[in-house]
């Protein structure tokens, strides 16, 4: 059975974006970029909420033409070729090998997990992550803490997320500056 793996980048003060929605701060050095590639190989499908999907779909299809960052250049073809799923009640169409799912999350996610193939990598989406967590549907949490204080208000989980006990499965430092905290459901 496939697992749902939630991957999120946060600042030291626990924010996922700056006070004006900025997401220009994650430091993707060579080690973290390689780990990202390895996660892409482990997971056969990327998952998003609508807002994060729209951000990703606006950048990755043409990333090589607007960025000279080695991570962006290496990840763009992976993003384009990897199947994707978007959880949305409002999105009607999505390109780039993407399907849209809607409906009660327990049933939708049970169906995703039962499909053959590799794990599903959920990237960002505080509201979706909170809702999936509330239903016990996320199997693993990958929290990448970056050396920046953003002073924003958006956290990796929406306000009101229920308390959840987790077990630390791994901690690791990438590029001498970004810390991975990998947790599994207890």
Q: How many domains does the chain have?
A: 1
Assess contact for 78 and 37: CB atoms under 8 A.
yes
CA distance 101 to 92: 10
Reading across the β-sheet that carries 98-101, which strands appear in turn?
Answer: 98-101, 84-87, 43-49, 119-123, 4-11, 140-146, 178-185, 166-174
Q: What is the pLDDT of residues 136-160, one digit of tens each?
A: 999 999 999 999 999 999 998 877 7
Confidence bin at 163 (pLDDT 50/70/90): confident
Does residue 146 fall inside a structural domain?
Answer: yes
Determine the 3-state secondary structure of 51 from DSSP. helix
CA distance 130 to 2: 20
CATH code of residue 55: 3.40.430.10
Query: Which residues lie closer than 8 Å to 107 by C-beta, 6 or more apart?
Result: none
Q: Is the pLDDT of residue 162 over 80?
A: no
Confidence bin at 176 (pLDDT 50/70/90): very high
Question: What one-character DSSP code corresponds to residue 28?
Answer: -
Assess contact for 112 and 139: CB atoms under 8 A.
no
Q: What is the pLDDT of residues 31-71, one digit of tens each?
A: 999 999 999 999 999 999 999 999 999 999 999 999 999 99
Does residue 22 fall inside a structural domain?
Answer: no
pTM summary value:
0.94
Q: Is the pLDDT of residue 26 over 90?
A: yes
Does residue 23 fall inside a structural domain?
Answer: no
pLDDT on residue 124: 74
CA distance 182 to 144: 9
The domain of 49 spans: 4-17+28-185
């Amino acid at each position: 059975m496939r697992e749902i793996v939630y991957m999120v980048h946060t600042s030291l003060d626990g924010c996922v974006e700056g006070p004006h929605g900025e997401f220009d701060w994650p430091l993707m050095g060579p080690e973290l970029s390689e780990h990202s590639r390895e996660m892409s190989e482990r997971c056969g499908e990327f998952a998003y909420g609508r807002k994060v999907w729209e951000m990703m779909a606006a950048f990755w299809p043409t990333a090589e033409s607007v960025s000279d960052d080695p991570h962006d250049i290496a990840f763009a073809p992976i993003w384009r070729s990897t199947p994707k799923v978007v959880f949305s009640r409002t999105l009607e169409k999505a390109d780039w090998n993407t399907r849209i799912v809607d409906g009660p999350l327990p049933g939708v996610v049970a169906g995703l997990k039962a499909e053959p193939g590799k794990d599903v990598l959920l990237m960002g989406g505080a509201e979706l992550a909170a809702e999936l967590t509330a239903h016990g549907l996320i199997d693993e949490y990958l929290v990448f803490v970056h050396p920046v204080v953003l002073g924003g208000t958006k956290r990796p989980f929406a306000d009101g997320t229920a308390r959840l006990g987790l077990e630390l499965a791994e901690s690791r430092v990438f590029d001498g500056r970004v810390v991975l905290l990998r947790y599994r459901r207890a």
